[in-house]
Amino acid sequence: MKTARLFLCLAAFLGITLAENRADADEMVRFESAPVTLSAFRIRKAAEQGKILSQPPGTPLLGYLSRPPGDGPFPAVVIMHGCDGMRPSVKDLWPKRLVSWGYVVLVVDSFTTRNIMDTCRSSLPDRVFDAYGALNFLSKSSFVDIRRVALMGFSTGGTATLEATKIEGNEQLMEHKFKAAVAYYPACAASQGDATVPTLILSGDRDNWSPAEPCRKRLARIGDDAPPIEFNLYKGGVYHNFDAAEFAVGRRVLGHIEKYNPDAAAKSIRSVYAFLRTSLSR
């Protein structure tokens, strides 16, 4: 009985309900990043030189698909991992949590098919197109309500999330659009301006990898009629990866501290739950 009570308390603390036990097992799926659309200018210039440009294909990608029981259609969340790749909290814990809340989840693996181990010490591929490739894949699923899909990213995945949903960005080239965005400890750009969808940004006050100040400056620049950007800054010594229980001991990477903070994690989970409930309502 003690073991059972301990499990229930832990599940409640981590924001997981027993409904996750009824969810289908994760399924590995294959799709492509959204292709980079050729501009009319490039097509015209090529024609003037007697050339015909073919549409470049997208990059083959892997993903992990999880879904609630039933036929749907359900709202969905596309998840983008950070520079260290598919860590357990991103690949396993967050999908289980989101499925228990009633969302289809597609975690995008941007590294395996590109033969990348991590990009914490090197440049990143343009993952905005990976996000929209995942959205295109979900649009073909009868159990997904493609009008209610959020993009959610962690660290560099959070940065890609903000890039994918900024005004005058590549979103305008895409057929399908996200309805909301959640970015955990992203590197904000103060000059990024308005978002195209309601956005939730979650950061720690001691995070020197993705400092909060550029996020504050961006918020000061958004227009009065723009979709809202909610910025939650968790104080009291909260570092990068504060939601990831696998970093309970904490570690230092390239001069930056990554450490789980149970209080900030729990608060952020409640914020994400409320934000998605509101933003992905019909």
Q: pLDDT of 35-61, one tens digit each?
A: 876 555 455 655 666 666 556 678 899
Torsion, Cα 212 274 79 234, to 10 degrees, reads 20
Asked, for residue 184, whether it belongs to a domain, the answer is: yes
Q: Do residues 241 and 217 make contact, with C-beta atoms less than 8 angstroms apart?
A: no
74-80 and 104-109 strand pairing: parallel
Tell me, what CATH number does 55's domain have?
3.40.50.1820
Query: Domain of 262?
Result: 19-279
Asked, for residue 13, whether it belongs to a domain, the answer is: no
Asked, for residue 102, whether it belongs to a domain, the answer is: yes
Cα R_g (the chain), whole angstroms: 19
Q: How many domains in the chain?
A: 1
The pLDDT tens digits for 174-206 are 889 999 999 999 999 888 889 999 999 999 999
Asked, for residue 14, whether it belongs to a domain, the answer is: no
Helix (H) or strand (E) holding 48: helix 40-48
Asked, for residue 1, whether it belongs to a domain, the answer is: no
Q: How confident is the model at residue 9 (pLDDT cuts 50, 70, 90)?
A: very low
Round to whole Å and give the CA distance between 218 and 177. 22
The pLDDT tens digits for 217-252 are 999 888 889 999 999 999 999 999 999 999 888 788
Q: What is the pTM of this model?
A: 0.85
DSSP label at residue 206: T
Q: Give the bridge partners for 252, in sequence order.
A: 257
Asked, for residue 3, whether it belongs to a domain, the answer is: no
Asked, for residue 26, whether it belongs to a domain, the answer is: yes
Asked, for residue 62, whether it belongs to a domain, the answer is: yes
Q: How far is CA 215 from the centre of its chain?
A: 17
> Is 178 in a helix, a strand, or coil?
coil
